[in-house]
Amino acid sequence: MPGPKHAIRNIKPKNALKTIKRIISYMKPYRAHLILVIVCVLISVASNIAATYFLKPLFNRYIIPFIGQQNPNLSEFIRMILIMGTIYVIGVLATYGYNRLMVAVTTGTLYRIRTELFSHMQTLPIRYFDTNTHGELMSRYTNDTDALRNMLSQSFVHVFQSMLTISGVFTAMLLLSPLLTVIVVLMLFVMIIIVKKLGAKRGKYFRERQMAVGKVNGYIEELIEGQKVVKVFCHENKVKADFDKLNGELFEAAKQANTFASMLRPIMGNLSYIHYSITAIAGAVMSITMGLDIGSLASFLQYTRSFSQPVTMMSEQFNSILMALAGAERIFDMLDQEPETDEGFVTLVNAEKNEKGEIRESAQRTGLWAWKIPEGGGVVAYKEVKGDIRFSNVVFGYEKNKTVLSGITLYAKPGQKIAFVGSTGAGKTTVTNLINRFYDVPDGAILYDGIPINNIKKQDLRRSLSMVLQDTHLFTGTVMENIRYGRLDATDEEVIEAAKLANADSFIRHLPQGYNTLLTADGMNLSQGQRQLLAIARAAVADPPVLILDEATSSIDTRTEALIEKGMDKLMEGRTVFVIAHRLSTVRNSNAIIVLENGSIVERGDHENLIRQGGRYYQLYTGLLELA
């Protein structure tokens, strides 16, 4: 039954201070920008506070004395107005400046984080991708970085500005009237209590909304991938009903979250008006009875209007900061994953033989490969790559206490075609994963031309192998580029030759732009068989000494399979080949067929010998014929 694909993610960070410090470390190249941002914020806050303070002399020295005068001299008054205007303009320019600077800081910081995240991802072992969903990994680059962008560009600056504004305004209020400031402090406590109550409710419903969004997005993603299955079984109404239920939960959570979020600003606004009224009344009484000057009262009243806004802004940014820090922790968690280790020291090089038959390294591609083995003291030995692969008592399991391969011992001599057959889950693909060192074996040994594969650098080991997988993946690009992915320095002629070898040239030339036809969405504009032919051509252009074919012809019809059989034979000629196949007719000409069951080898031999034995292979083969 379809369901949400992603785990519900906590929006609260585990260690906010540590995460903030790590984020700041990525901002070090922008220290000068950040210093300018701090300066601009200080100027912006100071200008607003100072301009408001100018109301005191403006009223006391000019406006009030001008009352009743017939022809007052306005020159000083105009000069004061111009000074105030200049201060406000400086504040506006400073605000514009720090916003522009934060755009550069934010985009640059996220660029560094995304670059490091992607680079680090390339170093992670296959096990990490096998144990984490693609959607969850993609969320690091999308949702989490987007939340981080909002925090860096807006939340941090707004909170810093709000704190400075509250401190500055409070100081100015104390200078103007300590007694009226007491009223402000009392109202501030009321505001804090209301913000705390509403914030708790809002935070609760925002968490529920975040969970509901995760469920809805996961459900939609899963249903898009499984749309054919839905239509085959006519479950459109069922999945629509399930979606309506999840969407309804999202609606209720979002409605409650937005309700409390929308309530905060008007409530704080009305409180500020109440605060203003109380302060105005108290100030008027103090002016009459205690001699408080009108200018001080005017400035103080203006400060009360600007005092509640930063409090509201800080409360609004709080949840955004928590969500962004939680997202940053997930990004850093991926960055902290241990990269794939490689203790290998043997490398793969192009080689050539001199007149005496001695192998030496070549800078050109010669078609002859050799292992370059350091022997200490600057001495290097070369060993021709033959493709001799041997397993010796290999024990392996993807999870602890769950063995997949139990004491596997096998050999593949140079140029042999070795086929693995057996029921699903017998361990066939696991064998090929170990040859590639996608996983390392805890017990036993695998030798490649007599060299333990742990001693061979992983990249060099994998360059000596080429795989055609059952699940073909094509990248967005032309047909030519997808085939050339097997060897990036291959010429167009070599790519076309590889396509002919895989019998893909014919259908490629019938495509709208031939080899320049653009493939998108994993090659969905091609049939599954055509995609697999391109994968075979990709392996052919790599021209490695060892081939691994994991159900390479499973999606090709029998007629096409017969057409490419000669091409495949030519491709496999002189190479060690490992074949995994459920269609047993494809392995009849193998030098050795290895039958696996429950992680153990139960039979080995060629087709004729295994048929004569009448064992497991015979049962599988004759059962297949009966089904046919």
Is residue 454 domain-resident?
yes
Is residue 1 domain-resident?
no
Tell me the C-alpha distance between 484 and 496, whole Å: 10
pLDDT at 556 (0 to 100)? 63
Residue type, 244: D
The dihedral over CA atoms of 382, 385, 388, 392, expressed in degrees to the nearest 10, equals 50
Angle between helices 75-123 and 156-176 (to 10 degrees): 150
With H, G, I as helix, E, B as strand and everything else as coil, classify residue 397: coil
DSSP count for the chain of H helices, then E strands? 22, 16
- The β-bridge partners of 163 are none
Give buried/exposed letters for 615-625 (b at 16+ CB in 10 A, else e): ebbeebbeeee
| Same-domain status, 611 and 571 | yes
Cβ contacts of 579 within 8 Å, gap of 6 or more: 417, 418, 419, 420, 549, 552, 586, 587, 590
Tell me the C-alpha distance between 412 and 414, whole Å: 7
| Same-domain status, 463 and 575 | yes
Strands 592-597 and 417-421: parallel
pLDDT at 7 (0 to 100)? 39
Residue by residue, what is the 3-state secondary structure of 261-306?
Answer: HHHHHHHHHHHHHHHHHHHHHHHHHHHHHCCCCHHHHHHHHHHHHH
Is residue 10 domain-resident?
no
Alpha-carbon distance values, 292 to 55, 60, 199, 299, 361 (Å): 14, 11, 38, 12, 95
| Same-domain status, 265 and 378 | no
Cβ contacts of 94 within 8 Å, gap of 6 or more: 40, 41, 43, 44, 47
| Same-domain status, 327 and 362 | no
pLDDT at 617 (0 to 100)? 86
| Same-domain status, 320 and 376 | no
pLDDT at 553 (0 to 100)? 65
| Same-domain status, 303 and 327 | yes
- Biggest CA–CA distance in the chain, Å, is 126
| Same-domain status, 380 and 435 | no
| Same-domain status, 355 and 419 | no
| Same-domain status, 225 and 274 | yes
Q: Is the dihedral of CA 517, 520, 526, 528 positive or negative?
A: positive
- The Cβ-side half-sphere exposure at 277, using a 13 Å CA radius, reads 5
pLDDT at 345 (0 to 100)? 92
Is residue 342 domain-resident?
no
Kindly report the CATH number assigned to the domain that includes residue 497: 3.40.50.300
Q: How many domains does the chain have?
A: 3
Mean pLDDT by 10 residues, the chain (628 residues): 43 78 92 94 92 86 78 82 91 93 93 93 88 77 85 88 89 89 83 74 70 75 74 81 89 82 74 83 88 86 80 74 83 91 90 86 87 88 92 90 88 90 84 89 92 93 86 86 90 92 88 90 80 87 87 65 63 82 76 90 90 86 52
Alpha-carbon distance values, 170 to 108, 174, 185, 293, 432 (Å): 36, 6, 9, 19, 71
Is residue 352 domain-resident?
yes
CB 308 within 8 A of CB 173: no
Q: 347 — phi, psi (to 5°)?
A: -120, 160
Domain-terminating residue out of 335, 368, 402 = 335
Is residue 490 domain-resident?
yes
Kindly report the CATH number assigned to the domain that includes residue 204: 1.20.1560.10
Give the ranges where 6-155 is alpha helix by DSSP (H).
16-26, 31-53, 55-57, 64-66, 75-123, 126-130, 134-139, 145-150
CB 391 within 8 A of CB 601: no
| Same-domain status, 142 and 237 | yes
CB 494 within 8 A of CB 515: no
- The Cβ-side half-sphere exposure at 359, using a 13 Å CA radius, reads 18
The DSSP call for residue 516 is: G
Is residue 3 domain-resident?
no
pLDDT at 43 (0 to 100)? 94
With H, G, I as helix, E, B as strand and everything else as coil, classify residue 439: coil
pLDDT at 627 (0 to 100)? 32
Supply the pTM of this predicted model: 0.76
Tokens found for residue 12: 């609260």
Q: Which domain holds residue 554?
A: 390-627
Q: How many residues does the chain have?
A: 628
Q: Look-up: residue for tokens 């999840």?
A: 246
Is residue 528 domain-resident?
yes
| Same-domain status, 375 and 398 | no
| Same-domain status, 380 and 394 | no
